[in-house]
Amino acid sequence: MSELTDKPDKTLLYINIAIVLAMSLRIHGIQYESAWGDEVVTLQYLPATDFKTFMDGIWTSDPHGPLTPVFHGLAYAWSKLAGGTLLPMRMLPLLLSFAALPLIYLVGKKLFGTRAGLIALYLTAVNPLLIYYSQELRFYALVILCALLSLLSLLHALEKNSKGAWILHCCANALFISTHAFTPILFGVEGLYLLYKKGRNLRAPILWGAFHLLLVAGLGLRMALRDYDLGTQSLVFNDALPTWREFGNTILVFTGARFAREDPVQWMPGGLSFDRIIGVLALLIVGLGAFQAHRKRKENPKIRDGYVLGVLWLVFPLVFLYAVSFIWRPVFYYRYILYAALAFPWLLGAALATIHPKGLRIGATVLFLTLMTYQTLALPRPFRADYQTLAHHIAQDLAPIVLVLKEFNHQGATYAIDLPDENIILHHGFGELCDEARTRAKAGETVWVVFYRWIKLDEFQNAITDCTTTRHDYAGMPGLNAYRVVGD
């Protein structure tokens, strides 16, 4: 990628190639992905005859449902166009992620120049984390798209400083705050950057702050009217305080080295994973780029400003969520601030774009793209627990009974398995599940017992030694385990 500012045709070609690459990686393997528990919450109510009935169901089942009306409105409308089954519905987040790609380039270009914007676009295209969430029927792809619209409109308003531009930015943030409960954290980033840019001229920051306080107050009023306790809902799956290790692991995820906090090495071919190499190199190169930008801040203040915004965009949401987890309640989930991960493509793209000579710059960029593509493609599909294959195996038996340990993600099993409700029994207790499996098998029934993220599998086999058990292991990260149990 040489000097591109005077070669719009070449730039457009690079953009199109990156978008095709991104689309290919995001579509790859999507047909093998079973519905995740959170996705089932949306899928199960799509047959509703009207939007109000649909949202009433969402509000009773989805912890974040009352605060995500934009996504659920889009999901319901999309189901009427494409059908309410899993694969057609997954096209919605895919399309939203495709729409975000040009905005990644535009933000990178505004902050650091054309070359950096292109590199950021390619890094986004192969990013395992962003690929994973582009396939998920949740609000994350929409949050990322709206975060980009918010930032792009802010940069435009700072550049033009016109009333129309500021109104456009405020409209973008009014939309953004209706996509997720934790989006107001990003307002803190934008407010700090606005203060940094405006210096002692406080009129714009004060007006901006007043408007956004009204937005946050409106969000609080919605919570109060719905009797919604944000802290309790965020504790649904997390009641432990985060550690520094978890904080560091989240930064590793945000570099694009892996798509989740679990170490991917156990699923990689030959145990070969480059996630730590990618993370360390990314942090090192971004650090060197920031140091160079600081040294040349008087020669090129635009690049310095870009680094200030990029670092704020990455660090502020992480530190804020980490601190709130100790001051208030544990809410440290990286997906709540997934938009913060966008900072790495911009910062790394900016740092790579300044490397000289040209051959070294191209080599370093290709190295990152190759390693990140490997991290994406080398992982076996599906990413999510393979309930589809489990359901196919269960369907081979005549009217079996399915027992599911209701610890986590049991919704995936109940959605995928095509049996009457009375044939699928959820158990909260492990001992009770073992007893019922044995009793039913002894009575001549065929029983399937499903476990997800359960480490006491040997205990189950030992508890029903007087029955014949066949263990089945299914793909996923982590995977799924099931036993077919029949009486001796």
| pLDDT tens track, the chain, 488 positions | 445 555 778 999 999 999 999 999 999 999 999 998 889 989 999 999 999 999 989 888 877 777 888 999 999 999 999 999 999 999 999 999 999 999 999 999 999 999 999 999 999 999 999 999 999 999 999 999 999 999 999 999 999 999 999 999 999 999 999 999 899 999 999 999 999 998 888 999 999 999 999 999 999 888 887 777 766 665 545 567 889 999 999 999 999 999 988 899 999 999 999 999 999 999 999 999 999 998 988 888 899 999 999 999 999 999 999 999 999 888 888 999 999 999 999 999 999 999 999 999 999 999 999 999 999 999 999 999 999 999 999 999 988 888 887 766 788 999 999 999 889 999 888 899 999 999 999 999 999 999 998 888 888 988 888 899 999 999 998 889 999 999 87
Q: What is the CA radius of gyration of the chain?
A: 24
Q: Which residue has the tokens 């694009």?
A: 256
Same domain assignment for residues 332 and 418 = no
Query: Does residue 259 contact residue 253 with C-beta atoms inside 8 Å?
Result: yes
The domain of 348 spans 8-377
Q: Is 351 left (phi over 0), alpha (psi -120 to 50) or beta?
A: alpha
Query: Does residue 119 contact residue 365 with C-beta atoms inside 8 Å?
Result: yes
Tell me the pTM: 0.94
pLDDT in the model for residue 453? 85
| CA distance linking residue 368 with residue 250, whole number of Å | 19
Distance of CA 171 to the CA centre of its chain: 24
| CA distance linking residue 429 with residue 435, whole number of Å | 10
Tell me whether strands 467-474 and 480-487 are parallel, antiparallel or unpaired: antiparallel
pLDDT in the model for residue 238? 55
Q: Is 19 left (phi over 0), alpha (psi -120 to 50) or beta?
A: alpha
Q: For the chain, count helices (H), then strands (E).
A: 21, 5
Same domain assignment for residues 186 and 132 = yes
Same domain assignment for residues 335 and 401 = no
Tell me whether strands 447-452 and 480-487 are parallel, antiparallel or unpaired: antiparallel
| CA distance linking residue 262 with residue 303, whole number of Å | 35
Same domain assignment for residues 479 and 365 = no
- CATH code of the domain containing 406: 3.30.110
Choosing from 346, 377, 408, the residue where a domain stops is 377
Choosing from 326, 359, 377, the residue where a domain stops is 377
What is the number of residues in the chain? Answer: 488
Choosing from 315, 348, 377, the residue where a domain stops is 377
Residue 126: strand, helix, or coil: coil
Same domain assignment for residues 264 and 349 = yes
Cβ-proximal residues to 438 (8 Å cutoff; 6+ apart), any chain: 463, 464, 466, 467, 485
Q: Does 1 map to a domain?
A: no
Query: Does residue 384 contact residue 152 with C-beta atoms inside 8 Å?
Result: no
pLDDT in the model for residue 183? 93
Cα dihedral sign, 430-436-437-442: positive
Residue-wise DSSP of 321-333: HHHHHHHT-----
